[in-house]
Structures are given as C-alpha cells and as structure tokens.
Copies of this chain bind each other. A is one copy, B any other.
Amino acid sequence: MRIAIDAHGGDHAPQAVIEGVKMAAREWPDTTIILVGCDESVLPEPLPGVVFKKVTEVIEPDDEPVRSVRRKKDSSIVVGCRMVKEKEADAFISGGNTGALMAAGLFYTGRLPGVDRPALAPVLPTLSGKGILVLDVGANPEARADHLHQYAKLGSVYAERVLGFEAPRVGLLNIGTEEGKGTELNKAAFALFQEDESLRFLGNVEAREVLYGPCEVLVCDGYSGNILLKNTEGVAKAVFDRLKQVLTQNLLTKLAGAILKPGLKRFAKEMDYKEHGGAPLLGLAGPIIKAHGSSDATAFFNAIRQARRFVENNVMVQLEAEFSRGRGE
C-alpha cells in the first residue's frame, strides 16, 4: 500500500508531518509512505518505507482554492491528488488548504458516480469516546435534500468500514426532534431518509445531544455543520481556558489542579478531534483525507492509520456498489 502525504500542509508542517510519518513507518512496515513536497534531506538517514516526491510550488492557506489549483500544478496538493488519480498512490492526506484540496480532488480524481457533491466528514469527539461522524461540515454550504441523502449513504459506509461501527445509525441535524420540524430542506431530507430502507435512520437530532453520541453518523448541510463543528471547538476551548483560570488562582487551587491533572489530561485527550484522524472528502472517487490544520505528529500518524483502513477495507469499491445499487443498475 502506498500512502501519499502533503509535507507542506498544516500549521506545524513540515516537522509534524515528518514526525508522524516516522511513527507510521515504524508501525506499518508494509506501507510505503510518499512525502510529497520534500526530499530525503529532511531525514538524518534513510527510513525504510518512506519515499519522497519533490514539488516546486506551495498552495498557501489563504490562496483562492480553484485558481491556486489551476495555476500551481506542481504544488503538493495538486501532485498528491494527481498521484491518486494515476494510481501512483492509494490515498492522499493533507493538512493544507481545504478548499484547494477539494478542488484538486474534484479536478483529478473526480466524483464517485452517483454523488453530486462530496462532503467533508470529520469525527467529533463524544463523551462515550467512540465519536460521531458529521457530514457535511462546509464543503458545500448550500445543500439540497438529495445531497443530504448522498451524505447519509457515504457516511454509513465509511462509519462501518473505516471507523468500525457495526450497523451505524444515521441522525439528521435539526432544531427539534419531531418529524416535520425545521426547514423545507430538513423535511425533504427526512422523507428521503425514511424511504431508504438501507439506512438505519434514527430521526432528527438536536444540536445539544451531539456530544452525547445519539447516533454514529450525523447528516447536515455544510453551513450548519460548520457552525456546529466550530462552535463545539470554541465552547470546549472556552470552558477549558476558564477552567485553567480556576485552577491557577492560588497555591491551594494549584495543588488541587495537580491532583486532577491525570484525569483532566485524559478528558482533554478524549475531547481532542486529532485522536480520530482527519476528515475524508467523502464522495470523491479516491481516498483523500483532510488533516486538521493544527495537526501534530500524532494527528498525522492517526490520519495515516485512517488512510490505511480506507484502502485495506476496499471502501471505494463498497461506495461504488452502494451508489450503483441506489441507481438501480
């Protein structure tokens, strides 16, 4: 198996990428990892299983996605996606510009037949620790009901095959639990989900339930999914920030903080999206994974694990079958 990874993607690139790749190379000697965007000089000595693909350009985080993909044909994001298209790599991971990664994916690997709009599908942490797959979180801000139906199918296959959930249940993000709640989009999507007997559709899910893990796959339009994702990050961060103030108020509270440190650390780790790897661009015709911009070495290592499962478990074949069945072929 050959997994390509963008050496330039993410706030801590290239160092965090290189460290993650080292960890992965030791863990999975059967896997060839292709570091896109650097050469062997980044390693003090050759590492078995790690190869290099030099590039001459970089797409910056603020670059306009479509234009940068058209112009910077020798950037790590474009080269990585092209390698998947040309079967030089089985999967590609990048912590870089999300829009550019999606644009390059659409341009090179294209969409799965039957999918109109690929979705960005991260795992959000839940109190149970198992996490919840949320899609879409912003690849496609304005979705139609049939897009949401496609997300439900994409998410179900991915949650089962890559995340290891048996018989994953699907929820629809909404502003009330009863049928008939929400926007016209919600109502139309609810009807489509209910008609599709291949889905394990639970019904509407309210935003206050998400972290309690009411289902394994949560479907929403990209706009509200993005609000949900960023708000979850923001509130969790704000609460931890404020908690730190409480813990450092005086000597006694600092002592209490020291006692609680292991428990709080475990908790912070549970709440860390990075533990769950990156977000696949589900619906592209190849395994392309967006790692979080703030990924550290462990996050890149986890994303490589996730890409391995994606490839190993023939997720693309399963997805193709799912969508061709859907169209009665």
Contacts and interface: CB of A to CB of B under 8 A. Distances in A.
Contacts of A246: 260, 263-264, 266-267
A120 B197 CA distance: 38
Contact of A233 (B208, B237, B259): B208
- What 5 pairs across the A-B complex have the smallest Cβ distances? A208-B234, A256-B256, A246-B263, A207-B231, A207-B230
Interface in A97-127: 127
Nearest to A232: B235
Identical chains in the assembly: 2
A65 B207 CA distance: 22
Contacts of A267: 242-243, 246
Contacts of A242: 127, 267, 270
Contacts of A183: 141-142, 223
A88 interface: no
A209 B142 CA distance: 22
Interface in A286-317: none
Contacts of A252: 259
Nearest to A266: B246
B238 A127 contact: yes
A142 B175 CA distance: 12
Interface in A216-273: 222-224, 226-243, 245-247, 249, 252-253, 255-257, 259-260, 263-264, 266-267, 270-271
Interface string A162-174: 0000000000010
Contact of A182 (B141, B228, B238): B141
B237 A208 contact: yes
Contacts of A59: none
A212 interface: yes
Contacts of A232: 231, 235
